[in-house]
Amino acid sequence: MIRIILNRIAISIPVLLIVITVTFFFIRLAPGGPFDTEKAVPPEIMKNLNEYYNLDKPVFSQYLDYLKNLIKGDFGPSFRHSNRTVTEMILTGLPVTFELGLYALFIALFIGILAGLSAALKPNSLRDYIPMSFAMTGICMPTFLLGPLLVLVFGIWFEWLPVSGWNTLNGDKILPSITLGTAYAAYIARLTRGGMLEIMYQDFIRTARAKGLSEIIVVTRHAMKGGLLPVVSFLGPAIAGLLSGSFVVETIFQIPGLGRFYVQAAFNRDYTMILGTTILYSTLIISFNLLSDILTTWLDPRLRDNEAV
Amino acid sequence: MIKFLLNSIIILVISVAVLSSCSGDKKTNASEETKNQILHIGNGTEPQGLDPHVVTGIPEFRLITALLEGLVTEDPKTIEPMPGAAESWTISENHKTYVFKMREGAKWSNGDPVTAHDFVYSWKRLITPGLAAEYAYQLFYLQNAEKYYKGEITDFNEVGVKAIDDKTLEVKLNNPVPFFLSLLYHHSLYPVHKGTIEKFGKIDSRVSKWTLPGNFVGNGPFVLKKWDINKIIVVEKNPLYWNAPNVKLEEIHFHPIDNEQTEERMFRSGQLHVTSTVPSEKIEGYKEKSPELINIDLYMGTYYYLINTTKKPFDDPRIRKALAMSIDRRQIVEKVTKGGQIPAYALTPPNTMGFTPKAAIPYDIEGAKRLLAEAGYPDGKGFPESELIYNTNEGHQKIAVAIQQMWKNALNINITLSNQDWKVFLDNQRTLNFVLSRASWIGDYPDPNTFMDMWVTNGGNNHTGWSNKAYDNLIAKAAEAIDQKERYDYFQQAEEILADEVPIIPVYTYTRNYLIRPEVKGWYPNILDHHPYQHVYLEEIN
């Protein structure tokens, strides 16, 4: 088990290096630089700007400099926001995105597992069809539609909840968390249903029932551990998706999270900021995938015994 | 089971409510904040920074005018220059020497006096090559400033700005520049506090912490109180400002909002007093249902199409003119943009400080067809399919589609459309890697020169490859002229050349469309969309 984990960590280092290298060179290939503006900057000023940020050096030596600083933990200054470093900006955005992702994950798991269970325990009945058609709608409905819709109903018509903000008005975290969580709730519902249906026809469930256990015990003690396996393996990508995919929700609700920093950086060609956030996101995705693999192994005896995985 | 589901939904709602209510203490809404004289403004994208010598955008400009004050400020109604950090000034007869008398008792927010030396230091900083200030060229009107910037001279004393004593600043210009006082509104010419700059870095440090709350020292009507990136910037009244007794607002909250739909929803739910823009598809609804909330002011900017005159067949002025003559601009502003814009038949917006171009490109489809035929493409036969580029934006797309159709109908020529990411788009314009391109220009200062001097041969913003000796001469002559009428005559002639040669196709004159609550007072429409905050206040409406 420990060997697997160590193995995976070792593999992730070259993966990160490749991500850094590809990002570094690709953003420089993209037309337009960080200082291109609608009103042309005279060439002599552009020259000084490039010197200031070492953009006049050969690209490869810039790359080596970047790696050197990175090892020291220095992501460099933001090209656009002249009074902030990339590290500072990430540290302000990341906790917000994490918090939002956490609430959304709770909502997704709660609704998703309940709906999935309800469907799996009585398949092909109304209790299956209704939650599952909701799930289908949830998957199909993009957040940029659901968000404004919720705002319109709860923020503007009923005036129950604030339409935007984060930590400024009472209840301003509710709508964004629901918006972000819903799409994942739908996936989780479908995964739960599938996983549970498969398990419920297994022999050991019949044995458990034959022992005279109540249905609740059968479901919670015996079936759920195996039936939720697909959900657990989905958690890694889901958390990564919640963190990196929160941009739309952050924009709709005016939330100062990392997603907005990331997209703004890409539009502005803020090279250091793009690299910093990309490295961070890749690290997060790699770690959460690893974490969900470990959890899956722990839950699934078939995998646990097979060291080769 | 249904009961179970219902229960769980209730638990969920409660748990989310509990999670969210851990934070947040007060209910902000425009009407409550009005009582406290706290103005909430939607301010576009997150500002790059607050260093007046480094930043370039309009959101930054709005913030900096609250925090710093230049030699002159502007009248909120007429945008005429008014005394600011300078109490008065005299202009020499040849209009090349300005002497500013600094205001007695003007102070920085840390209590230091504001002196002529502060301006010398600040202007030196702007043209210090190492700072690489994008707006350094705003000072190139001063004697030797450009040479200093390029390193041809290294002694700053030779540059045309000098502190004769603490209270007297002398400025020497290369040419009589009639709009020089208006240039002084621009944030790049605002002063910075020397002690603060040097405490957090050197004169040429672009990356510096001096602009953060707690560090920032300014001389404007407001001081920086709070700055949460991508969330809010708060400024509060500066008690040391020379005109503080007449400043009525207690605080201004600038909300950085990139998304215009989000901004509109915030306005509708009462979180904002003023927005920075309004989604174009919502303009009509506001005009019908609540016209008191929407503001449509004429703006000193022109929306136009660039033509790459180095590409065949667009090197032929007849073709360019045919394209320009076959656009029905009235249709565009009435049916497409719908924001009160004015059709533009010449480049400079009408009544720019008393200048209205006499030249006009006619709307004349028959004439356009004739020109096209003369140029060798009767009824558009054989005309190569050409591409029109624009930066990704629904508004630009709608206009492009309309014009594409007009050209097809009138001239029977095929234009393809291509939308591009902003930076890609700018790069293509700069390298002349396009045939036709959408563009716009918002005047830097209230004078026709800001529109006219772009099109001189090899001008930095002349992305057309167009060059005309007579035009260059007229602009050079206008720069030397002192008499306003004489200058405007040169500009009229220059407009004639533009209308005849058509390196660009003017489409419409901009309007500034935004939402504003009736509680906001002291906010006047003007062509620069400048609203000095020391004159703004809030008044409850019953």
Residue B24 has pLDDT above 50, yes or no: no
The answer, yes or no, to whether the previous bond of B525 is cis (omega within 30 of 0) is: no
Judge whether B285 is closer than 8 Å to chain A, CB to CB: no
The pLDDT value recorded for residue A306 is 56
With cut-offs at 50, 70 and 90, classify the pLDDT of residue A275: very high
Judge whether B45 is closer than 8 Å to chain A, CB to CB: yes
- Answer whether B230 sits within 8 Å of A33, measured CB to CB: no
Judge whether B279 is closer than 8 Å to chain A, CB to CB: no
Which of B64, B265, B390, B456 to mutate: most A Cβ within 10 Å? B265
Closest residue on chain A to B462 (Cα): A40
Nearest to B340 by CA among B271, B264, B283: B283
Residue B25 has pLDDT above 60, yes or no: no
Angle at A37 between CA A275 and CA B472, to 5 degrees: 155
Question: Under a CB-based contact definition with an 8 Å cutoff, are residues B297 and B525 in contact?
Answer: yes
Which of B43, B127, B147, B231 to mutate: most A Cβ within 10 Å? B231
b/e for B233-250, b at 16 or more Cβ within 10 A?
bbbbbbebbbbeeebbbe
Q: Which of B12, B265, B430 lies at the smallest CB-CB distance from A164?
A: B265
pLDDT tens string A133-144: 888 888 888 888
Q: B-chain residues within 8 Å CB-CB of A52?
A: 130-132, 206
CA of B429 vs chain A CAs: smallest distance (Å): 9
Judge whether B132 is closer than 8 Å to chain A, CB to CB: yes
Question: Under a CB-based contact definition with an 8 Å cutoff, are residues B227 and B254 in contact?
Answer: no
CA distance A41 to A49: 10
pLDDT mean over B96-119: 96
b/e for B341-378, b at 16 or more Cβ within 10 A?
bbbbbbbbbeebbebebebebebebeebbebbbebebe
The mean of the pLDDT values for chain A is: 87
pLDDT tens string B410-425: 999 999 999 999 999 9
Residue B10 has pLDDT above 90, yes or no: no
Judge whether B445 is closer than 8 Å to chain A, CB to CB: no
The pLDDT value recorded for residue A304 is 64
pLDDT mean over B63-79: 94
Judge whether B129 is closer than 8 Å to chain A, CB to CB: yes
Q: B-chain residues within 8 Å CB-CB of A178?
A: 16
- Answer whether B20 sits within 8 Å of A170, measured CB to CB: yes
pLDDT mean over A218-228: 85
- Answer whether B207 sits within 8 Å of A77, measured CB to CB: yes
- Answer whether A256 sits within 8 Å of B461, measured CB to CB: no
Q: B-chain residues within 8 Å CB-CB of A81?
A: 46, 48-49, 229
CA of B414 vs chain A CAs: smallest distance (Å): 27
The pLDDT value recorded for residue B23 is 39
- Answer whether B262 sits within 8 Å of A93, measured CB to CB: no
pLDDT mean over B105-120: 96
Residue B60 has pLDDT above 90, yes or no: yes
* Residue B375 or residue A241, greater confidence: B375
Q: A-chain residues within 8 Å CB-CB of B188?
A: none
Judge whether B164 is closer than 8 Å to chain A, CB to CB: no
The pLDDT value recorded for residue A236 is 83
Q: Which of B24, B28, B229 lies at the smallest CB-CB distance from A256?
A: B229
Closest residue on chain B to A161 (Cα): B269
Helices of type H across B186-345? 194-200, 260-268, 280-289, 317-325, 329-331
What ipTM does this complex have?
0.85
Percent of chain B with pLDDT over 90: 78
Q: Which of A42, A93, A156 lies at the smallest CB-CB distance from B460?
A: A42
- Answer whether A103 sits within 8 Å of B50, measured CB to CB: no
| Cβ neighbours, 10 Å, residue A14 | 9
Q: Which of A83, A93, A170 lies at the smallest CB-CB distance from B24?
A: A170
| Cβ neighbours, 10 Å, residue B129 | 18
The pLDDT value recorded for residue B4 is 55
Q: A-chain residues within 8 Å CB-CB of B5?
A: 114, 118
Q: B-chain residues within 8 Å CB-CB of A127?
A: 1
Give me A78's structure tokens: 């933001």
The pLDDT value recorded for residue A252 is 92
Q: A-chain residues within 8 Å CB-CB of B421?
A: 32, 267
pLDDT mean over B329-350: 93
CA distance B347 to B329: 14
* Residue B143 or residue B24, greater confidence: B143
Judge whether B426 is closer than 8 Å to chain A, CB to CB: yes
- Answer whether B5 sits within 8 Å of A155, measured CB to CB: no
Q: Residue A129 in 3-state DSSP?
A: helix
Range with the poorest average pLDDT among A233-237, B159-163, B189-193, B315-319:
A233-237
Judge whether B56 is closer than 8 Å to chain A, CB to CB: yes
- Cβ contacts below 8 Å, chain A against chain B, sum to 186
Residue A225 has pLDDT above 70, yes or no: yes
Please provide the DSSP assignment of B327-354 as one string. --HHHIIIIII-SS-EE-SSSSPTTBTT
Question: Under a CB-based contact definition with an 8 Å cutoff, are residues A260 and B45 in contact?
Answer: no
Tokens 């009435």 appear where?
Answer: B334
Judge whether B134 is closer than 8 Å to chain A, CB to CB: yes
At B55, the amino acid letter reads V
Partners of B89 in beta bridges: B100
CA distance B449 to B451: 5
Closest residue on chain A to B49 (Cα): A81
Region of B285 on the Ramachandran plot (φ > 0 left; ψ -120 to 50 alpha; else beta): alpha
With cut-offs at 50, 70 and 90, classify the pLDDT of residue B8: low
Please state at what angle helix A229-244 crosses helix A258-268, rounded to 10 degrees. Answer: 50
pLDDT tens string B366-411: 999 999 999 999 999 999 999 999 999 888 999 999 999 999 999 9
With cut-offs at 50, 70 and 90, classify the pLDDT of residue B183: very high
pLDDT mean over B131-136: 89
Q: B-chain residues within 8 Å CB-CB of A28?
A: none
pLDDT mean over B213-239: 95
Residue B26 has pLDDT above 50, yes or no: no
CA of A175 vs chain B CAs: smallest distance (Å): 9
- Answer whether B212 sits within 8 Å of A83, measured CB to CB: yes
- Answer whether B426 sits within 8 Å of A156, measured CB to CB: no
Q: A-chain residues within 8 Å CB-CB of B207?
A: 77, 82-83
Q: A-chain residues within 8 Å CB-CB of B54?
A: 82
Q: B-chain residues within 8 Å CB-CB of A167?
A: 23-24
- Which residues make Cβ contacts (< 8 Å) with residue A35, sequence separation at least 6? A41, A46, A49, A50, A79, B134
- Answer whether A164 sits within 8 Å of B207, measured CB to CB: no
Percent of chain A with pLDDT over 70: 98
Closest residue on chain B to A172 (Cα): B20
- Answer whether B27 sits within 8 Å of A167, measured CB to CB: no
CA distance B317 to B334: 29
Partners of B508 in beta bridges: B303, B343
The mean of the pLDDT values for chain B is: 91
Q: Which of A81, A92, A162 lies at the smallest CB-CB distance from B48?
A: A81
Q: Which of B24, B45, B421 lies at the smallest CB-CB distance from A168?
A: B24
Judge whether B20 is closer than 8 Å to chain A, CB to CB: yes
pLDDT mean over B183-197: 95
Q: Which of B131, B231, B269 lies at the smallest CB-CB distance from A156?
A: B269
CA distance A55 to B54: 18
Q: Residue B292 in 3-state DSSP?
A: coil
- Answer whether B24 sits within 8 Å of A31, measured CB to CB: no
CA of B4 vs chain A CAs: smallest distance (Å): 9
pLDDT mean over B323-331: 96
With cut-offs at 50, 70 and 90, classify the pLDDT of residue B6: low
- Which residues make Cβ contacts (< 8 Å) with residue B272, sequence separation at least 6? B30, B40, B41, B42, B255, B263, B266, B515
- Which residues make Cβ contacts (< 8 Å) with residue A207, sequence separation at least 6? none
- Answer whether B265 sits within 8 Å of A44, measured CB to CB: no
Q: B-chain residues within 8 Å CB-CB of A114?
A: 5, 8
| Cβ neighbours, 10 Å, residue B2 | 10
